[in-house]
């Protein structure tokens, strides 16, 4: 459009200069040609202006289509994200590595919220030893222990005391004894002591909840 405007301006200037000459200085045919040139330049400028307007309309249309396409892409991405989230719900991840010892679900079963699916025994197992409260006088966390495992012919593996519960096991049972009523009979209480293995018996033995062991803690060097 700039070139068409320049041609029109040049043609108009040439016509104006020629029309300002004294009569007879320029042939009438040449003057008519200059007028025709101006008219042609005006027509070209008008055509260029219409082309620019059409191009602007195409740009507006293209921008509108771009916004529509972007909205469609965002909607499709939201659908993909939702599908990925739904897919993630089909995969249940255990909080730690271990062995499944009890499975209550089969492929194709519908799972309800809060339903127990499996029992998991972690690789890092430990021993809860219920020592008499009278045995705890010299027992401290960190002391070495030996654990004799019945399932393996009394094989002994090393361990250590990790923690001692603050309170007897009976005090935390479902129905703790109430000693304030009836005849009081003093009973030596049992206190849970957590003993961990100092090596990895999982490499040699299959250990799990409910198995019997005989722990011994060395309280004096």
| pLDDT at 172 > cutoff 90 | no
Range of the domain at 114: 96-120
Q: For residues 199 and 144, state if they share a domain.
A: yes
139 and 195 together in one domain = yes
- pLDDT value at position 197? 92
pLDDT for position 159: 94
Report how many domains make up the chain: 3
Residue 207: what pLDDT? Answer: 86
d(C-alpha 158, C-alpha 215), whole Å: 10
Q: Are residues 128 and 116 in the same domain?
A: no
Task: Based on the fold, state whether residues 12 and 83 are members of the same structural domain.
Answer: yes
pLDDT, tens digit, 9 for 90 and up, residues 46-76: 777 777 788 888 898 899 999 999 999 999 9
Residue 209: the pLDDT is 87
Whether the pLDDT of residue 137 is over 80: the answer is: yes
The answer to whether the pTM exceeds 0.85 is: no
What's the pLDDT tens digit per position in 73-91?
999 999 999 999 999 887 8
Same domain, residue pair 75 and 130: no
135 in the same domain as 211: yes
Q: Are residues 6 and 83 in the same domain?
A: yes
Question: Rounded to whole angstroms, how far apart are CA atoms 208 and 122?
Answer: 9
Q: Are residues 32 and 112 located together in one domain of the fold?
A: no
- pLDDT-based confidence at residue 99 (cuts at 50, 70, 90): confident
Task: Write phi, then psi, for 100 (nearest 5 degrees).
Answer: -80, 120
Q: 19: pLDDT confidence band, cut at 50, 70 and 90?
A: low
Q: Are residues 17 and 37 in the same domain?
A: yes
Q: What are phi and psi of 128, to 5 degrees?
A: -105, 105
Q: Judge if 113 and 130 occupy the same domain.
A: no
On whether both 150 and 197 belong to a single domain, the answer is yes
Residues 144, 63, single domain; the answer is no
How high does pLDDT run on average in the chain? 82
The answer to whether the CB of 37 falls within 8 A of the CB of 11 is yes
């Amino acid at each position: 459009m700039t070139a068409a405007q320049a041609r029109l301006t040049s043609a108009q200037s040439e016509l104006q200069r020629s029309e300002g000459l004294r009569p007879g200085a320029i042939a009438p045919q040449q003057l008519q040609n200059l007028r025709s040139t101006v008219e042609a330049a005006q027509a070209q400028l008008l055509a260029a202006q219409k082309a620019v307007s059409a191009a602007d309309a195409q740009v507006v249309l293209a921008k509108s289509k771009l916004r529509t396409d972007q909205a469609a892409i965002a909607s499709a991405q939201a659908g993909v994200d939702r599908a990925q989230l739904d897919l993630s719900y089909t995969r249940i991840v255990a909080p730690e590595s271990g062995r499944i010892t009890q499975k209550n679900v089969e492929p194709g079963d519908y799972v309800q919220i809060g339903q127990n699916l499996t029992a998991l025994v972690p690789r890092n197992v430990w021993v809860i030893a219920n020592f008499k409260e009278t045995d705890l006088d010299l027992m401290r966390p960190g002391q070495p222990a030996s654990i004799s495992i019945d399932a393996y012919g009394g094989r002994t593996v090393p361990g250590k005391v990790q923690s001692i519960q603050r309170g007897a096991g009976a005090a935390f049972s479902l129905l703790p004894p109430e000693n304030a009523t009836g005849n009081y009979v003093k009973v030596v209480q049992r206190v849970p002591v957590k003993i961990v293995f100092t090596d990895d018996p999982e490499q040699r033995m299959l250990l799990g909840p409910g198995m019997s062991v005989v722990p011994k803690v060395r309280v004096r060097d």
